[in-house]
Structure formats: structure tokens, C-alpha cells
């Protein structure tokens, strides 16, 4: 039972991190102290996507699920949870690059707004 709870906790943490990676720039508009935390997480997200690496949270969650009597799943977090929701087929390399580019462009827009607000305030 404890292993399943821990696996679910890892899953929730992973989802929260993924959401923060994509949308955290919006929080920077309000709390500038999150700037470097978010830039780091966004860079990590892009590297994970483009290098086709597995986030360390994925094997930890999978191990905990197996220890809790559940089946391990193949692939990574994005392939197992996100792509089955958003994409009808396997996550291709091209789509990974596109996701990375979307992440970069979205954050460049948000950070452009952050720096423009800072400039106007000065």
C-alpha cells in the first residue's frame, strides 16, 4: 500500500513539475523570485525532450508501482501519461522537437513581457 501511495505522490510531483515547466513563466510575472527556478526547469524540459532522455522521476515511480504490486509501464512519463491523453499515436522525435520549440517560444513571449514590464517600471 505504501509503495502505491509513494508512486502516486511521485506522479503528482511529476505532473506539477511538468505544468510548472510549461506555464511557470506566468508565475514569474507575479513572483520574479521564481525566474531562475523556472528557467532551469524549462531548460531541463527542453533537454529531456530533445535528448530523448527519461526523467529520473519516471523509473522511481515505475519501481514503486512494481513494489506495490502494479505493472511497470514502458517508455517515459510523457509517453505514458501525456501522449496517451494528447496524442493518438506514439510520441515521435519530430513531435518531441516541436514540443521543445513550443516550450521555448511560449517562455520567450512570457519573459519578453516580464522584461518589458520591468523596463516600463524603471
pLDDT of residue 100: 81
Per-residue pLDDT, 67: 87
C-alpha cell at 63: 519501481
Contact criterion met (CB below 8 Å) for 10 and 80: no
The whole-number pLDDT of residue 59 equals: 84
What is the structure's pLDDT at 79? Answer: 56
Task: Give pLDDT, residue 5.
Answer: 86
3-state helix, strand, coil in the chain (%, to 5): 80, 0, 20
Per-residue pLDDT of the chain (122 residues; tens, 9 = 90+): 888 888 888 888 888 898 898 888 888 888 889 989 999 999 998 888 788 787 888 888 888 888 888 766 666 555 556 545 544 456 677 877 888 888 888 888 888 887 787 777 76
pLDDT at residue 122, as a whole number: 66
Q: What is the pLDDT of residue 88?
A: 46
Question: Count of domains in the chain?
Answer: 1
Distance CA 77, CA 79 (A): 6
Q: Which domain holds residue 60?
A: 2-121
Amino acid at each position: 500500500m505504501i509503495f502505491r501511495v509513494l508512486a502516486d505522490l511521485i506522479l503528482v510531483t511529476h505532473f506539477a513539475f511538468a505544468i510548472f515547466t510549461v506555464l511557470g513563466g506566468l508565475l514569474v510575472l507575479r513572483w520574479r523570485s521564481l525566474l531562475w527556478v523556472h528557467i532551469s526547469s524549462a531548460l531541463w524540459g527542453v533537454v529531456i525532450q530533445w535528448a530523448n532522455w527519461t526523467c529520473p522521476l519516471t523509473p522511481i515511480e515505475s519501481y514503486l508501482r512494481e513494489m506495490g504490486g502494479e505493472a511497470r509501464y514502458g517508455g517515459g512519463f510523457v509517453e505514458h501519461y501525456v501522449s496517451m491523453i494528447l496524442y493518438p499515436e506514439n510520441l515521435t522525435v519530430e513531435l518531441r522537437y516541436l514540443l521543445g520549440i513550443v516550450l521555448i517560444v511560449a517562455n520567450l513571449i512570457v519573459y519578453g513581457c516580464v522584461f518589458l514590464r520591468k523596463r516600463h517600471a524603471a
